[in-house]
Structure 1
């Protein structure tokens, strides 16, 4: 276990439609495109795709979010690894744009989805968490088969990144089988937990799936999981079929997903050694540093503990994520 002190790592986000610019540097510029992935189970899924490019990036606004990217620029490279991203409850495809840019800067293609029915504009299906892994598979299908840059991707090198509800999505997508019968007893004991409050309003039916193994996507070969929601539903053996490298993160002072009920069961079930506990961090410190606008609108997600430096956390966090995928999937071979 790696206990990470404040100022060592950086944050990434949710509700990124309101966030300010964060610009990494590296060997490539980040190209960016918006797209839609077809989904037989419903309306098309909105996705964003970042990728390595030699074009000059420009500060470009997407709603209230500004990124330094080269919009619709040519992609640079061949046999590129792909990372798919799943945001937390109520987020959007832009939630983790800083991590996406860092990965694209390092030679990865990155595809992030706005989960249908669980996003900043529509939370009508927030408790239907088993919708999410199937949506991730549709995103992979699209990027490998229908995206204009699909020929540049190595389909044998696909990774996934997920935060909070996206962390659960990641675990389910890589072979985890959740036991939702554990939710009732846990919520009886800890009714103040976020998931318990969410279910108290909406009811638990959406969490139930006839066979969670149906969402396993064997194309995913490595995963980063940050502050996973519903981690306790995988104990004790719900992750026994996971056979890929996993990097796990939790915030030491996470009040929404308190220790030891969420990340800890995942760590124990997988025997993870690449495990990071971010000292003094809260749940929302996995978001990028907030703009003044966002801090006014949503101070709860923008306020950090005294002495915790989100910006410094962000820089090192992204470096660690890139390094993990480079070790697990193989470094991008420039010029391939």
Structure 2
């Protein structure tokens, strides 16, 4: 009997050691290119999906950015909430690559959409109604494309969709959540502040290139993260149908999208009070990923922050709070348990 008990104790101890030695759940990041049709003209448009992966992570060059993700790496077993990323006017979603990859590492699928006609390569729709109303339609089409993608669809929680909007992407996100732009508000604003070259590049008169478009909400959207949102076109009554939770950031020294007429005013008017964080001294570009040395040399205006503003610290806090916000407002990412060393090395 004594000998049997000793054997059992040894086996039990060995089992406990095995459990304790198992690594905690952790994901690397993969990325997958999506191509689908722009709902405005049925021409191909592109997006990049960042997702939790069980594969070994490599650094990849995507355009001019070095990103911690591996193309078409194995998707980690599980089902994950879907986050759509809408960039600013004339921009690229890859400017926020650290936020996208960090949220993927936390257990979200993040789809970064390049808006046709309003990006760093193509500004043909800038200042038009088709851009204002078309951007939300493009995000909706990207949601549908992701849910139908053979590689990603088995891993997406179709009912758990959030939108991340930066600058003009904030306007896009609000329309998707039910907001209705008031073009007269833009006209009045541009009469008051004609020197605002960003919002008033058309002097407050959007080009009516399409008269068949209207703002269309997407009922699949259940939470918004807004950064320096362009939102001066929304009055209290035009926001009445926005009932999703909102986490919002703005730079206190933003000279492109002034917080007093945009984020701060929006925070007072939303029917559901948002979590609103005004970052003292920060400018408009602080939400872009911290720059490499080469980027500092090439685009110092986008990379240089005011004295006392630490972009790395701001992004560390932003990533943590965004992960917590979406985990609370959308379903907690589910997965098939702890990875083994073999899974991690695949």
Write the deviation string for residues 154-200 of structure 1: whole angstroms up to 9, x where unpaired.
Answer: 11111110000001100011100110111111111101113344214
State the SS of the aligned residue for 2:78: coil
2:280 is aligned with 1:279: yes
1:123 paired residue number: 123
2:184 paired residue number: 181
Provide the C-alpha distance between the structure 1 equivalents of 2:224 and 2:39, rounded to a whole number of angstroms: 26
2:85 paired residue number: 85
- The number of aligned residues is 308
Provide the C-alpha distance between the structure 2 equivalents of 1:334 and 1:257, rounded to a whole number of angstroms: 39
Question: Does structure 1 conserve the Cα–Cα contact (< 8 Å) formed by 2:96 and 2:287?
Answer: no
State the 1:208 CA deviation.
Answer: 8.3
2:167 is aligned with 1:168: no
2:29 is aligned with 1:30: yes
Provide the C-alpha distance between the structure 2 equivalents of 1:154 and 1:36, rounded to a whole number of angstroms: 21
1:39 paired residue number: 38
Alignment of structure 1 residues 67-82 onto 2, 5 Å: 67-82=67-82
Alignment of structure 1 residues 210-225 onto 2, 5 Å: 212-213=214-215, 215-225=216-226
Provide the C-alpha distance between the structure 1 equivalents of 2:110 and 2:83, rounded to a whole number of angstroms: 5
Alignment of structure 1 residues 1-336 onto 2, 5 Å: 27-42=26-41, 43-127=43-127, 128-200=131-203, 204-206=206-208, 212-213=214-215, 215-229=216-230, 231-270=231-270, 271-335=272-336
Pair 268,99 (structure 1): closer, same or farther in 2 beyond 3 Å: same
Structure scoring higher RCO (CA < 8 A, sep ≥ 6) equals 1
Question: Does structure 1 conserve the Cα–Cα contact (< 8 Å) formed by 2:31 and 2:71?
Answer: yes
Provide the C-alpha distance between the structure 1 equivalents of 2:217 and 2:313, rounded to a whole number of angstroms: 35
Pair 183,217 (structure 1): closer, same or farther in 2 beyond 3 Å: same
Provide the C-alpha distance between the structure 2 equivalents of 1:208 and 1:187, rounded to a whole number of angstroms: 22
State the 1:129 CA deviation.
Answer: 2.0
Provide the C-alpha distance between the structure 1 equivalents of 2:262 and 2:223, rounded to a whole number of angstroms: 20
- Greater Rg by CA: 2
Normalising by structure 2, what TM-score? Answer: 0.84
Computed over aligned residues only, the root mean square deviation of the Cα atoms, in angstroms, reads 1.9
Provide the C-alpha distance between the structure 2 equivalents of 1:191 and 1:104, rounded to a whole number of angstroms: 41
State the SS of the aligned residue for 1:31: strand
